[in-house]
């Protein structure tokens, strides 16, 4: 069972790589080095701030785009192209397929992020000429970004299991935007009454709450991160992803593959 | 078939459990960082930047910031020493994004300006309201707000009069604005004027928090007036008889009052052995400046009524 | 032991947005396939062949009924290790090479690593793709894809192989190769269940066939039995350039090409025709009994189905 999941995961990774996904790294490197050089010349004491903010935001955004655009096709493309039939005629359970795809996509993003992190640290070194202890916070920020990716991947997969690629992209992207404003949604819900209050509160807990994962600004100002927060975020990401994946498994299990 | 049912059951259970678990974790994370979101938000401190970042959806983002401002202020009442340092930027961002959100200016004139129960930044409040007037020159309410700040916090009666005057000339201005303008000239600094201002606010505002604040202030004013009146009586008694009145009844007799005066809650005022007139339950009149025991500090919860 | 027992599998779809009308893709089907035979599942397009296969593969869930494959419930996951499947007009991960694809499928089928390498080589050779094993599948022609498809179906040495339209889109060479492969599978003791609408292939390959039309089973049996139930005809060939008038009157079909004349007559008219030819002093070349083709049986069954359907409306 585990072996099959691992094989599906590595095949998904292989597909992403051969799909030239990793070329996005080129765009990223160009962007970051361009910015670093430009800012290094202006030199008004915020170079480090710019590099960290720009670098990490780019890591986050590029990653979300990849997570969505690859994720939405993971299942629906296989159904459309009928590559799925020969896979499922083997002793592969449907849920193993979903989980395998998830790990493959998440793995792709982890590798992508890792490579980008090297770029960020490289640009940082270029503008600061040294590393300080506080720079380790960047690793925490990257970890949180990866947790965000895990959530988005699971959602993309969920939509892919029942919806066309176009609709899935719309749904996933919308949830990402709403998720960034989820705290405000909870505030709005808190001020509403009656039925709308219940519905809004329910919605606020079902959408992914991504605000807690974005610590880019604060670590750019070298503010420390509570260990408790790291734990809570990890737990939240795991629970949320398992919720979305359970949904994906549930839907996929019951589907007729016409 | 059995296998499929089993998987569906497990997946369904997992879904529900994870939803519950994630909600619990989320709740706890919130408690961990009550300030956090807003502090991050405000790292994007420049209204201009936010405006550009809104990609044209200024109205929506303004609404979001307005909600945040209200939440920010409301949540801080729990603290013993509340710090409202982010209120001004939040309001500024809100009004930059939507200069016609009048309630934001109202809010600022009340809660941003006040040193006693708000952020204590009257100058910034004035800047804010002036920006509002600039963008909404035909809204009489904003002139009223401006005059309010000048009068209440800065005691600059001339500027207050000027503001009310300008407001009264706006078409469809509420009649009391003109009355207030006239009042400034002769009765600045009097209880009567303060009462007029707070009554005006109470009657015309739609915002619940502002309305409540006005209500509390009117009650406090009543107490101030009553206590001043009674305290004067004590002083006169002392000048005439050379001693303090032995009891409230004696004081009343001397002042020619047949009934014990009561505070707005219906509790009679009391006279201390030291000759001070005080309210029975100081906690109920947090905004009163008279009639409170010496060294009295209102507990934080007093503000929680908002 | 029967390789496949289909016990009343049924599939009804609900189509339409508001008022869901039922569409019967497959009426309750009773069918048995014996161990070690090549079984042909025939029918025109849209008859329900692919639906049946998908039901057996667990890709689609039945509205009712069940099936047993190799003695076990068809939903039993352990069954999958013993069967191979080639879907219609297959498509495979085009970013993989043939070798990688077979490796991947081998992994998924649980073929142990040591055996896998050997097996992949073997299968690639068997389907004739050894020379292109390093080429990405996106560059493969249709025939080559079909061969890869068969390869992945037999890679894990299954006892039972399901093929959906295995000859579709192939040129005569390709079809011949696939036919030979299927014969070889039978030789190895495997059971082959394949669907097609090309009757000549079925006739050549199958031990038994079933005919399905509009979701219903119309006939099952051995090929010889089915084709011999209809009365045979005889083909008579002689040397000559024209057909004698007496014969022309009797005959439905006649062909003249070069100095050969060919006519087809009923079996019981055979002697009469030969007498006429002798009288006319024509030189007889051949007298060949013509077995009715499967095609005729097929068309007959379908036509009858149409008329009964028509009469019930």
* Angle (nearest 5°) at CA C26 between C25 and C28: 155
Number of domains in chain A: 1
Largest CA distance in chain A: 63
In this predicted structure, the answer to whether residue B116 has a pLDDT above a threshold of 60 is yes
What mean pLDDT comes out for the span B63-92? 79
| pLDDT for position C313 | 39
Residue C108: inside a domain: yes
In this predicted structure, the answer to whether residue C147 has a pLDDT above a threshold of 50 is yes
pLDDT one-digit tens code per residue, A63-112: 898 899 888 888 888 888 888 899 999 999 999 999 999 999 999 999 99
Whole-number Å distance between alpha carbons of B71 and C222 = 81
Q: What percent of chain B has pLDDT over 90?
A: 13
Q: A214: which chain B residues are within 8 Å (Cβ-Cβ)?
A: 40
Residue C64: inside a domain: yes
Residue C297: inside a domain: no
- Residue B160 backbone dihedrals phi, psi, to 5 degrees: -65, -45
| pLDDT for position A16 | 87
**Residues of the domain holding C245:** 233-290
Q: B12: which chain A residues are within 8 Å (Cβ-Cβ)?
A: 246, 250
Whole-number Å distance between alpha carbons of B130 and B123 = 10
Residue C74: inside a domain: yes
What mean pLDDT comes out for the span C249-271? 82
Q: Are C74 and C2 in contact (CB under 8 A)?
A: no
pLDDT category at B41 given cuts 50, 70, 90 is low
Check CB contact under 8 Å for C61 and B3: no
What's C103's domain CATH number? 3.40.50.300
pLDDT one-digit tens code per residue, C290-304: 766 677 777 777 777
**Residues of the domain holding A34:** 2-254
Residue C141: inside a domain: yes
| pLDDT for position C251 | 72
pLDDT category at A141 given cuts 50, 70, 90 is very high
In this predicted structure, the answer to whether residue B285 has a pLDDT above a threshold of 70 is yes
| pLDDT greater at residue A45 or residue C246 | C246
Most confident segment among A194-198, B42-46, B163-167, B248-252: B163-167
| pLDDT for position B38 | 56
| pLDDT for position B34 | 57
Residue C298: inside a domain: no
In this predicted structure, the answer to whether residue C93 has a pLDDT above a threshold of 60 is yes
Residue C144: inside a domain: yes
Most confident segment among A89-98, A217-226, C86-95, C267-276: A89-98
Residues C92 and C186 in one domain: yes
What mean pLDDT comes out for the span B263-280? 86
Residue C261: inside a domain: yes
- pTM of the predicted protein model: 0.73
| pLDDT for position B304 | 41
Residues C210 and C262 in one domain: no
What mean pLDDT comes out for the span A208-213? 86
| pLDDT for position A45 | 61
pLDDT category at A149 given cuts 50, 70, 90 is very high
* Angle (nearest 5°) at CA B227 between B223 and B229: 120
Q: B2: which chain C residues are within 8 Å (Cβ-Cβ)?
A: 75
Residues C23 and C93 in one domain: yes
Half-sphere exposure of B194 (CA within 13 A, CB side): 20
| pLDDT for position B206 | 77
Any C CB within 8 A of A184 CB: no
Q: B4: which chain A residues are within 8 Å (Cβ-Cβ)?
A: 253-254
In this predicted structure, the answer to whether residue B37 has a pLDDT above a threshold of 60 is no
Most confident segment among A183-197, B66-80, C50-64: C50-64
Check CB contact under 8 Å for C109 and A90: yes
Q: What percent of chain C has pLDDT over 90?
A: 34
Q: What percent of chain B has pLDDT over 70?
A: 88
Number of domains in chain C: 2
- Backbone region of residue C68 per phi and psi (left: phi > 0; alpha: psi in -120 to 50; beta: other values): beta
Residues C181 and C240 in one domain: no
Check CB contact under 8 Å for A83 and C110: no
* Predicted ipTM of the assembly: 0.84
Residue pairs between chains A and C whose CB atoms are closer than 8 Å:
77
**Structural domains of chain B, with CATH:** 37-190 (1.25.40.10), 214-305 (no CATH)
User: What stretch of H or E contains B28?
Assistant: helix B2-32
pLDDT one-digit tens code per residue, B155-165: 888 899 889 98
In this predicted structure, the answer to whether residue C190 has a pLDDT above a threshold of 90 is yes
| pLDDT for position A195 | 86
CB atoms within 10 A of CB B138: 10
What mean pLDDT comes out for the span C5-16? 87
Q: How far is CA C21 from CA A124, A153, C14, C15, C145, in A?
A: 65, 37, 5, 5, 38
Q: Look up residue B110 and give its DSSP letter.
A: I
In this predicted structure, the answer to whether residue B11 has a pLDDT above a threshold of 70 is yes
């Amino acid at each position: 069972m585990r072996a099959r999941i691992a094989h599906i995961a590595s095949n998904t990774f292989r597909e992403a790589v051969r799909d030239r996904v990793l070329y996005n790294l080129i765009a990223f490197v160009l962007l970051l080095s361009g910015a670093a050089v430009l800012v290094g010349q202006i030199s008004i004491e915020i170079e480090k701030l710019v590099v960290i903010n720009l670098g990490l935001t780019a890591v986050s955004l590029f990653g979300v785009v990849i997570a969505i655009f690859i994720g939405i096709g993971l299942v629906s493309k296989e159904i459309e192209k009928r590559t799925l039939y020969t896979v499922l005629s083997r002793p592969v359970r449907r849920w193993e397929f979903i989980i395998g795809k998830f790990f493959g996509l998440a793995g792709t993003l982890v590798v992508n992020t890792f490579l980008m992190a090297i770029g960020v640290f490289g640009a940082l070194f270029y503008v600061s000429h040294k590393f300080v202890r506080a720079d380790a916070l960047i690793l925490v920020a990257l970890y949180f970004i990866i947790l965000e990716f895990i959530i988005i991947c699971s959602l993309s997969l969920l939509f892919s299991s029942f919806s066309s690629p176009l609709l899935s992209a719309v749904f996933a992207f919308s949830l990402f935007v709403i998720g960034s404003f989820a705290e405000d949604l909870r505030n709005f819900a808190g001020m509403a009454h009656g039925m709308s209050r219940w519905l809004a509160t329910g919605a606020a807990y079902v959408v992914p709450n991504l605000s807690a994962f974005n610590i880019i600004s604060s670590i750019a100002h070298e503010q420390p991160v509570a260990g408790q927060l790291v734990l809570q975020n990890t737990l939240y990401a795991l629970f949320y992803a398992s919720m979305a994946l359970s949904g994906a498994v549930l839907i996929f299990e019951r589907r007729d593959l016409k | 078939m059995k296998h499929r049912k089993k998987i569906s059951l497990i997946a369904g259970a997992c879904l529900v459990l994870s939803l519950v678990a994630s909600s619990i974790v989320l709740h706890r994370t919130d408690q961990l960082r009550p300030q956090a979101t807003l502090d991050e938000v405000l790292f994007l401190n420049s209204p201009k930047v936010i405006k550009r970042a809104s990609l044209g959806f200024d109205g929506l983002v303004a609404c979001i910031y307005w909600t945040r401002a209200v939440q920010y202020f409301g949540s801080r009442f729990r603290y013993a020493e509340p710090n409202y340092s982010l209120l001004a930027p939040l309001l500024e961002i809100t009004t930059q994004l939507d200069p016609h959100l009048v309630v934001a200016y109202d809010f600022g004139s009340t809660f941003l300006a006040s040193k006693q129960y708000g952020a204590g930044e009257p100058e910034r409040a004035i800047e804010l309201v002036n920006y509002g007037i600039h963008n909404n020159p035909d809204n009489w309410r904003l002139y009223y707000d401006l005059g309010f700040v000048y009068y209440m916090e800065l005691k600059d009666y001339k500027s207050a009069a000027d503001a009310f005057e300008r407001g009264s000339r706006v078409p469809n201005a509420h009649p009391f604005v003109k009355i207030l303008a006239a009042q400034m000239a002769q009765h600045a600094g009097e209880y009567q004027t303060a009462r007029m201002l707070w009554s005006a606010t109470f009657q015309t505002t739609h915002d619940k928090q502002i309305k409540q604040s006005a209500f509390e202030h009117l009650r406090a004013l009543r107490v101030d007036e009553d206590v001043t009146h009674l305290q004067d009586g004590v002083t006169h008694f002392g000048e005439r008889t050379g001693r303090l009145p032995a009891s409230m009844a004696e004081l009343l007799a001397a002042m020619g009052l047949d009934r014990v005066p009561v505070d707005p809650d219906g509790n009679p005022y009391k006279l201390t052995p030291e000759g001070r007139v005080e309210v029975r339950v100081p906690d109920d009149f947090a905004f009163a400046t008279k009639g409170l025991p010496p060294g009295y500090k209102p507990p934080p919860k007093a503000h929680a009524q908002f | 032991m029967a390789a496949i027992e289909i016990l009343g599998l049924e599939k009804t779809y609900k189509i339409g947005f508001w008022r869901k009308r039922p569409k019967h893709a497959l009426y309750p089907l009773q069918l048995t396939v014996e161990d070690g035979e090549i079984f042909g599942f025939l029918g025109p397009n849209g008859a329900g062949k692919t639906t049946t296969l998908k039901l057996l593969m667990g890709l689609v869930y039945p509205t009712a009924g069940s099936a047993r494959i190799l003695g076990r419930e068809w939903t039993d996951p352990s069954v999958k290790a013993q069967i191979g499947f080639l879907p219609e007009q297959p498509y495979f991960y085009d970013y993989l090479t043939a070798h990688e694809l077979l490796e991947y499928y081998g992994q998924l089928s649980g073929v142990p690593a040591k055996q896998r390498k050997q097996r992949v080589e073997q299968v690639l050779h068997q389907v004739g793709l050894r020379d292109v094993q390093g080429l990405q599948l996106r560059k493969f022609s249709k025939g080559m894809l079909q061969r890869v498809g068969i390869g992945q179906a037999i890679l894990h040495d299954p006892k039972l192989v399901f093929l959906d339209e295995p000859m579709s889109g192939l040129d005569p060479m390709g079809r011949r190769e696939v036919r030979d492969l299927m014969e070889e599978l039978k030789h190895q003791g495997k059971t082959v269940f394949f669907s097609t609408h090309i009757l000549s292939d079925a006739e050549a390959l199958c031990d038994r066939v079933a005919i399905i039309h509009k979701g219903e089973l119309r006939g099952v049996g051995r090929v010889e039995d089915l084709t011999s139930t209809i009365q045979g005809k005889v083909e008579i060939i002689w040397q000559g350039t024209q057909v004698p008038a007496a014969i022309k009157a009797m005959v439905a079909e006649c062909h003249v090409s070069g100095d050969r004349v060919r006519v087809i007559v009923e079996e019981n008219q055979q002697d009469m025709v030969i007498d006429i030819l002798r009288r006319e002093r024509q030189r007889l070349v051949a007298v060949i009994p013509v077995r009715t083709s499967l095609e005729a049986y097929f068309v007959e069954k379908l036509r009858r189905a149409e008329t009964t359907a028509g009469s019930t409306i």
